[in-house]
Amino acid sequence: MDVLGSIWGGSAFKFGIYKRCDTSKKESQNGRTYNENYAWLTRYGKNETEAFYNVKDKIIQIIKASQNNRLEDIEKIDFGDAVKWKIAFHYQNINNIKIVNIFSKNVLNLIASGEIKDKVKDISDL
């Protein structure tokens, strides 16, 4: 899935919850919760099970909204933009494509405002 729009970089917290490789003790703070095996965004739950099911529910909401081209509904879902729109891109209705595989809001704003056209001379520059 990497070939169709990368979301590499940044923290694994963008996924809502993840299994930790470094299992050293870490204090929960700044909206991030850690236990010995998992780390998650505190707003998604008090423990890893609750966080997992809340993240799973959000992913299902994204998929359903994407399949029905309800882009405004996707926008309202509390989930990291890059991951949210990557999921939406892959699950959209193939016969009615509305979502491009660019997951950077900054780049999309440049394209929408026409600012990028001055920086691009050839299609290969994209």
Question: pTM of the full predicted structure?
Answer: 0.80
Residue 31, domain member (yes or no)? yes
CA angle 84, 58, 10 (to 5 degrees): 40
Residue 22, domain member (yes or no)? yes
pLDDT tier at 4, thresholds 50, 70, 90 = low
Residue 119, domain member (yes or no)? no
Mean pLDDT (the chain) is: 87
Task: Tell me the residue type at 95.
Answer: N
How far, CA to CA in Å, does 38 sit from each of 15, 57, 92? 12, 18, 30
Residue 125, domain member (yes or no)? no
* Count of domains forming the chain: 1
How far, CA to CA in Å, does 78 sit from each of 42, 55, 57, 62? 13, 10, 11, 10
pLDDT tier at 88, thresholds 50, 70, 90 = very high
Residue span of the structural domain in which 36 resides:
12-101
Share of residues in the chain with pLDDT > 90 (%): 64
What's the CA gap between 23 and 34, in Å, rounded?
9
CA angle 94, 98, 104 (to 5 degrees): 115
